[in-house]
Structure 1
């Protein structure tokens, strides 16, 4: 499949690289099929690129990079669509957003992906993690891409 994106240009996405989000990501009703991309300028930052809406790409990072004690607890029913036996087998990422104060991550509503089954969902953490945790000053190239 070929996707022409506003951020990355033309992408060739194999069907095996797609990640299906049955319940969608909050605020993105039309986007169920995504692909994960590495950032060429930063080993820390990744991208979740919609293949249905090429204008939509979400910067994502590991929450533990900025919150070493981050532990995700969610209701088991929230993971039902992932076909996941154990949360430890999942890839957990958080969305990066840009604000006047700088870049922030949402620790309260992470993205959980069953890499083997290629299924993902956004969940609400049971614990009281911040919706907007400002990140420390980052490199100029990282701020530019996010």
Structure 2
């Protein structure tokens, strides 16, 4: 199937690449299917909607923030059909700035994907910042 993207133009994807987000993404409830497309020569990936040109730049937060940790709630584990950690991919949405050093990553709302069932959900946590500087090695926890 062909999709239209802002970054790559019209591209061909196969059905096995599509991740279903039954609840959509917060702020984008009608965007229910995405593909993850690595961006060549960068550490970033594009989380590209299948039905529109909506896309998000994402990273694997664990590659940047070694102390980042959270528990996936049981209802989300059940909804996504997660059997174990080997099928879970975690992404964090970036806010890229003209000066890359000013870019931030949303640590409060990771995107959780079951790579086996190809289902995903953006999980909203209350323990991390929405605008974490990407080049700060330790995630900043919110003060309770």
TM over 0.5: yes
What is the Cα deviation at residue 88 of structure 1? 5.3
- Quote the residue 2:50 is aligned against: 51
Judging by fraction of residues, say which structure has more strand.
Answer: 1
Aligned partner of 2:82 in structure 1 is 84
CA-based RMSD: 1.9
2:128 corresponds in structure 1 to 129
Q: Compute the TM-score of the two structures, normalised by the length of structure 1.
A: 0.83
Gapped regions of structure 1 (runs ≥ 5): 138-146
Secondary structure of residue in 2 paired with 1:10: strand
Q: Normalising by structure 2, what TM-score?
A: 0.84
Relative CO higher for 1 or 2, CA cutoff 8 Å, sep ≥ 6?
A: 1
SS in 1 for 2:128: coil
2:94 corresponds to which of 74, 93, 96: 96
Post-superposition offset of 1:109: 0.5
Which residue in 1 is equivalent to 2:111? 111
State the partner residue of 2:16.
16
